[in-house]
Structure 1
Amino acid sequence: MKRLSESLLLLLVGGALLRISVFSADYANYVKPGFRPLLIATGLAMVALAVAVARASARTRAGKGTPLGTGGAGTGEAAGTSAVPGVVPGVVPGAVPGAVPGAVPVLGRLREGRHETAASDPLMAEELHLARMLGRTPKPFAPPPAPDTPHRTPAVAWLLIVPVSAILLIAPPPLGSYAVQQAGTHTPAPPPPTIVDAEREPLKSGRVNVLTMLEFADRAWYGRSLKGRTVRLTGFAVPSARAGEWYLARMRIGCCAADAMIMKVAVRGTPAPPPDTWVRVTGVWDPARPGEVPALAADRAEPIERPESPYE
């Protein structure tokens, strides 16, 4: 991959990060709000790196700092001449059977920015001596490729542009009803009662108690603190295979959408909104059979705008 291509890819990734974290709030679809400063810093760093790589590539193409071994002034290999007096490029004095009369190929290497021959490198002289003893011709020196020489890059490397382009052009929404339906209806086993009931504040009677989905699920395991209490939950609608109910769901993340955990409640008593509609549901706890999803007998379900932070 050429340097110019590398700088373009860095610029696209950095630009995508800045687009979702500086010019919009789309970053909240993928990570927790606290990661916004880190996304901004990373985006700026990648854009700066892309500019630096592009400038270095431009200087190389302009001829500044001509790479060693490519010929031209300063390499000593133009027009069949050598920077080392008395040495013809590719050969040194001292014939070997089977070699060109009066010369043998040079065993060359790069060291500290110089092109060294057997005359100046003891290791190379030893290799040449061993070749003479064995009666074989040493392999000629192959100069290294220029730093900006194009390399064969697997086509799969360009697939990195696909997710970047998706963020720049589409900005995928947060996880929704499709992800919930694909996860199935598995309900984890309840924690021990001594842990569930420890340090839990009682809910107020005669008023609406606003709870998160996690708080409601924790209390619903045994229901002692939910009996006769009105609660309000916020989430998005998910269809249910059972008649007369639908699910209110919300994702809970620890770091990003990749580690999302589904929190859902079965809602009964109100018509099902369209999938992925954000709603605020008010009702009372409806005892469910063991192993089932916690349920809520709803009095009201109000459509709302999607919250700035769609995850808990």
Structure 2
Amino acid sequence: MTRLAQGMVMVLLGAAALSVTVTSQTYLNYVREEFRPFLVAAGVVLVLLGAVTVVLDLRSAHGDDTDTHGHSHGHDHARAPAVAWLLLLPVAVIFVVAPPALGAYTAATADQAAVVESAAADEFDAEFPDDGPVEMKLREFVVRAWTDEERTMAGRDIRLAGFAMPNPEGEGWYLARLQIACCAADAIVNRVLIENQPEPPEDSWWTVTGRWVEPEGSLQEVRDHRFEVTEMTAVDNPPDPYE
């Protein structure tokens, strides 16, 4: 790979970073929203460095082609290892087929959030509105179901949103949502078990309204908290698929 090619690769990498952050929200499939400024800055730096490298190499090539007497001669630019061309692979993937957000396949093997995190129910708003369903993130619902000993969700209409995920170990299906700390690589899953509605297509997104099925025994001994659905509405995939 010549220095000219190195500069072009940097420009393409920078352009790829900018294309998924400035002109679209594709970056949300891979990282949290807070990382956008850093991705934009990295993209700008790569484009500028690449452009400078290309310009300097072209000027150097023009100067080397002709000596002071007008005679042309060959020259050899510094070269990088051929493996450096592999840097073009992520560029090609983003420009040709941008990888989608993680979904049911990843959720089936990911750790359950409520088991591994230390959040408690009192982290969330303690009061519920008097009328209408309570809008909750799946994370809040799951954490409350496992930790709220006062069982404040019992008997309340609750609205959740997530994607459909099969239950390979029994009846019913899961409404799930992946939670990330910084990027898709550290994803953990929040999920509730639904048994009173037909299983929709895998990875399809839904808003469901219903009630928590309050367990008889200890909250912590429940493997999957159940949700009894009274209304389901299909929705488009959200721009930010993670919690």
Same-fold call, TM > 0.5? yes
Could you tell me how far apart the structure 1 residues matched to 2:105 and 2:30 are? 16
How far apart in 2 are the matches of 1:9 and 1:281? 46
Q: Does residue 209 in structure 1 map to residue 134 in structure 2?
A: yes
Q: Which residue of 2 aligns with 1:26?
A: 26
Amino acid paired to 1:166: V
Counterpart contact for 2:154–2:214, Cα < 8 Å = no
The alignment yields a C-alpha RMSD, in angstroms, of: 2.8
Match of 1:150 among 74, 79, 83: 79
SS of equivalent residue, structure 2 residue 63: coil
Structure 2: any 5+ residue segments left out of the alignment? 69-74
8 Å CA contact retained: 1:205, 1:230:
no
1:201-253: CA deviations, max 9, x gaps? 13345520011111101110155111111111101111112454111111112
Which structure has greater helix proportion? 2
Counterpart residue identity of residue 302, structure 1 = T
Please name the residue that 2:225 is paired with: 294
Scaled by the length of structure 2, what TM-score is found? 0.83
Give the superposition deviation at 1:57: 0.8
Secondary structure (helix, strand or coil) at the match of 1:62 reads helix
Q: Which residue of 1 aligns with 2:179?
A: 252
State the TM-score, normalizing by the size of structure 1. Answer: 0.66
Which whole-Å deviations, capped at 9, do the CAs of 1:261-280 have from their partners, x for residues lacking one?
21111112111110110100
Tell me, in whole angstroms, the C-alpha distance in 2 between the residues paired with 1:184 and 1:199.
22
Pick from 212, 226, 236: which aligns with 1:305? Answer: 236
State how 1:1-312 maps to structure 2 within 5 Å. 1-63=1-63, 148-151=77-80, 153=81, 155-183=82-110, 188=115, 196-197=121-122, 201-204=126-129, 206-222=131-147, 224-288=151-215, 290-312=221-243
1:309: Cα distance to partner? 1.2
Paired AA for residue 201 in structure 1: A
SS in 2 for 1:49: helix
Q: Which has the higher contact order (CA 8 A, sep 6+)?
A: 2
* In 1: Cα distance, 2:41 partner to 2:117 partner: 42
Q: Report the structure number with the largest CA radius of gyration.
A: 1
Count residues with an aligned counterpart: 232
Where 2:20 maps in the other structure, the secondary structure is: helix
Structure 1 segments unaligned to the other structure (5+ residues): 67-71, 74-145
